[in-house]
């Protein structure tokens, strides 16, 4: 896919990219609108013909031809507007879909750092806001900006056939009023932005209250929060009134200018008629077209301001979303291959983007099928090691090898396919249990999903649910207990069947009963895989082949659980603390 980063500061080029993609329907819309406006303006000219024909009397026998022309222009005007609107309904909506798809694909290519520095909801809303802004700008240009401009030009041409001086004066008035209205409308932008901000704060506070309703009730704060929310609404209402009143002042100024200009135009046209310099039809033509031109000035000015505001929001959103990806595949990257999963850290040095150093000259080799537990104090490098294996960051120097292949030279897709992670905080979609388990392998059959669930000891609680595998789990799996979510994550991992398994404190926050069930499920999951586990509960690691103790980015102990139990050091201290905790709990 084309690199979108080049459009980060070029909103018009970004929009042009999607106009080109759907060039033909956009051309149809443009031609239809131009034709519709042309026929609309020409309708007033045809009306002049009808008035002149009426003035000649029935004996001239020209009235029906003039009426036929008027009706034809009206019909063509309406038909072309409908063509533009119907094609626009498909095209403009299609553009919003194209934009959201492309922006979503680009966003998902970012590293974890990008998402940790930004609110996920904000990123999602920016994608939607960007597509909506372009949809609004397209509609405004086609239906609000371009028509009055074209109508004014056409009207001035027709008025020029009656009196060139009048056409020039009207052109000057049109330009002056548009500029004045645009400046007045622009001056009101702070009021409109203030209202938008206040409205957003109301929405944000409502979401915050709904999400924390159990907390509100627990502290008997329903009435207190109601009073607070009423104050927020009152502030938003004041901002909205200020915004609306300013727009009303703009309309009053425009109405006064329009009335004065129309009076002057009528006086001029009737003076020409009295002097025999204009026919009845020409007076009607000048007046109707003059009023059309003057009426268009307000709508055009307001539309231009709205379009400018939407373009500014679009520019800001693109600058945020279209940042270059931190991690990209090497130009000659190949898929990860090989049987088993030998992992090796060779002289690895790594610093986080904020400058915090973790590893300086780190070496670690894990043989295929080996089960390795990582323990150590917080900040020792355990989670960083997990992130580096998955290539969420690139190392400063050294190499990380899987099956003797540098992970910096393999495709990220193939690397992630080879690794399965079971975290402490399990992520689940607001979908059915079946879909959440099948996420490990989307093409898996129902029987395979069932076997994975059975191996993860999930079938007992799934069968107890009213809808079984079709039960919707709620936002982030809120309808399930912590132990149930963990077992679903294990089932998902079993189904994926990757050679490398990373366990990130998978049992640290569970009660003893849940931990026992999950330990059996983990035993099924770990079979035949290279396993690296971060664990605070050492009972999880008792059957592991090897324990690696990390401290300050260095390996301070490395050996079997039995061997480290008899050596002074961090692991032995951990065992003593856990034994003491169990004794106190039993007492």
Per-residue pLDDT at 582: 60
Determine the Cα–Cα distance for residues 485 and 191; give it in Å rounded to an integer. Answer: 48
Question: What is the pTM for the complete model shown?
Answer: 0.65
Rounded to an integer, the average pLDDT of 490-507 is: 84
* Furthest-apart CA atoms within the chain: distance in Å: 123
User: Residue 516: phi, psi to the nearest 5?
Assistant: -65, -45
Query: The tokens of 501 are what?
Result: 């398994």
Burial class (CB in 10 A: 0-12, 13-18, 19+), 409: middle
Shortest CA distance to 405 belongs to which of 324, 500, 533?
Answer: 500
**Among 53-57, 363-367, 484-488, which is the least confidently predicted range?**
53-57
Is 60 exceeded by the pLDDT of residue 511?
A: no
- List, for residues 266-312, the tens digit of each pLDDT value: 787 788 778 777 777 777 777 777 777 777 776 676 676 676 666 76
Domain ranges of the chain: 4-321, 336-417+531-587
DSSP code, position 48: H
How confident is the prediction for the chain on average, in pLDDT? 81
Q: Is the pLDDT of residue 214 over 50?
A: yes
Which of 313 and 166 is assigned the larger pLDDT?
166
For residue 434, give the nearest of 411, 458, 401 by alpha carbon: 458
Q: Which residues pair with 376 in a beta bridge?
A: 550
Tokens of 380: 């020792």
Stated as kind and residue range, the H or E segment containing 260 is helix 222-274
pLDDT tens track for 65-77: 888 888 898 899 8
In the structure encoding, which two tokens stand for residue 5, read together?
């980063």
Q: What is the pLDDT of residue 116?
A: 66
User: Which residues in 361-378 are b (16+ Cβ under 10 Å) and which e?
Assistant: ebebebebbbbbbbbbee
More confident call, 87 vs 520: 87
Q: How confident is the model at residue 1 (pLDDT cuts 50, 70, 90)?
A: very low
Helix (H, G, I), strand (E, B) or coil at 8: coil
Q: Is CATH 3.40.50.300 what the domain over 336-417+531-587 is classified as, yes or no?
A: yes
Alpha carbon distance 473, 550 (integer Å): 37
> Averaged over 312-330, what is the pLDDT?
75
pLDDT at residue 551 is higher than 60: yes
Higher-pLDDT residue of 112, 425:
425
Q: Using the predicted structure, report yes or no on whether residue 515 has a pLDDT greater than 80.
A: no
Q: Does residue 485 surpass a pLDDT of 90?
A: no
Picking from 587, 580, 541, the residue whose alpha carbon sits closest to that of residue 564 is 541
Residue 121 pLDDT exceeds 70: no
User: Domain 4-321 is classified in which CATH homologous superfamily?
Assistant: ABC transporter type 1, transmembrane domain (1.20.1560.10)
Using a pLDDT cut of 90, give the percent of the chain over it. Answer: 10
Is residue 24's pLDDT more than 70?
yes
What is the phi/psi pair of residue 168, to 5°?
Answer: -65, -40
Give whole-number Cα distances, 426 to 201, 423, 475, 476, 484, in Å: 31, 6, 12, 8, 10
Same fold, 4-321 and 336-417+531-587: no
3-state helix, strand, coil in the chain (%, to 5): 65, 10, 20
Structure tokens at 174: 């049109």
Helix-helix angle 280-321:164-187, to 10 degrees = 30
Give the DSSP H/E element, type plus range, for residue 286: helix 280-321
Listed in sequence order, the DSSP H helices in 322-426 are 382-389, 412-417
DSSP secondary structure, 499-568, as one string = SEEEEESTTTTS-HHHHHHHHHHHHHHHTTSEEEEE-SSGGGGTT-SEEEEEETTEEEEEE-HHHHHTSS
């Amino acid at each position: 896919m084309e690199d979108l980063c080049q459009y980060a500061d070029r909103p018009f080029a970004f929009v042009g990219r999607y106009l080109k993609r759907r060039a033909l329907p956009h051309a149809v819309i443009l031609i239809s609108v131009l034709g519709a406006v042309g026929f609309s303006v020409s309708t007033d000219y045809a009306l002049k013909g009808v008035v002149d024909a009426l003035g000649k009397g029935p004996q001239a026998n020209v009235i029906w031809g003039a009426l036929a022309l008027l009706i034809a222009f009206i019909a063509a005007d309406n038909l072309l507007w409908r063509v533009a609107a119907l094609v626009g309904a498909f095209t403009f909506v299609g553009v919003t879909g194209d934009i959201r798809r492309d922006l979503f694909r680009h966003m998902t290519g970012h590293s974890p750092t990008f998402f940790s520095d930004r609110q996920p909801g904000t990123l999602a809303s920016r994608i939607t806001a960007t597509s909506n802004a372009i949809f609004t700008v397209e509609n405004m240009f086609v239906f609000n900006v371009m028509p009055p401009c074209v109508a004014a030009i056409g009207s001035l041409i027709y008025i020029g056939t009656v009196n060139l001086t009048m056409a020039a004066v009207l052109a000057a008035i049109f330009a002056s009023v548009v500029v004045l209205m645009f400046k007045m409308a622009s001056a009101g932008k702070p009021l409109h932005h203030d209202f938008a901000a206040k409205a957003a704060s109301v929405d944000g506070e409502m979401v915050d209250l709904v999400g924390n309703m159990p907390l509100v009730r627990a502290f008997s704060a329903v009435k207190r929060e109601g009073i607070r929310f009423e104050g927020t609404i009152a502030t938003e209402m004041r901002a909205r009134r200020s915004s609306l009143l300013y727009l009303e002042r703009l309309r009053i100024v425009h109405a006064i200018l329009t009335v004065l200009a129309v009076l002057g135009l009528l006086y001029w046209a009737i003076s020409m008629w009295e002097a025999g310099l204009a026919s009845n039809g020409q007076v009607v033509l000048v007046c109707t077209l003059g009023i059309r031109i003057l009426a268009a000035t307000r709508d055009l000015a307001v539309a231009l301001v709205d379009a400018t505001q939407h373009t500014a929001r679009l520019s800001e959103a693109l600058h945020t979303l279209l940042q270059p990806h931190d991690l990209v595949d090497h130009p000659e990257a190949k898929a990860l291959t090989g049987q088993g999963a030998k992992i090796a850290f060779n002289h690895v040095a790594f610093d986080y983007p904020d400058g915090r150093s973790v590893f300086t000259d780190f070496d670690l080799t894990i043989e295929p099928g080996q089960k390795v537990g990582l323990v150590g104090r917080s900040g020792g490098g355990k989670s960083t090691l997990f992130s580096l294996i998955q290539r969420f960051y690139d190392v400063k120097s050294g190499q990380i090898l899987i099956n003797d292949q540098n992970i910096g030279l393999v495709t990220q897709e193939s690397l992630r396919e080879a690794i399965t992670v079971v975290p402490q905080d399990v992520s689940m979609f607001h979908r059915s249990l079946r879909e959440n388990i099948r996420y490990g392998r989307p093409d898996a059959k129902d029987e395979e999903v069932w076997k994975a669930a059975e191996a993860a000891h999930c079938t007992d609680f799934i069968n107890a649910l009213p809808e079984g595998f079709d039960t919707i789990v709620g936002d982030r799996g809120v309808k399930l207990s912590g132990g149930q979510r963990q077992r679903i994550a294990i089932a998902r991992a079993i189904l994926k069947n990757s050679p490398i398994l990373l366990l990130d404190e998978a049992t640290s926050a569970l009660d003893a009963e849940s931990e026992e069930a999950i330990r059996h499920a983990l035993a099924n999951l770990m079979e035949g895989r290279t396993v690296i586990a971060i664990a605070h509960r050492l009972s999880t690691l008792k059957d592991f082949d090897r324990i690696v103790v990390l401290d300050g980015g260095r390996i301070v102990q490395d050996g079997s659980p039995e061997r480290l139990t008899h050596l002074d050091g961090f692991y032995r201290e951990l065992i003593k603390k856990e034994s003491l905790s169990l004794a106190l709990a039993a007492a």
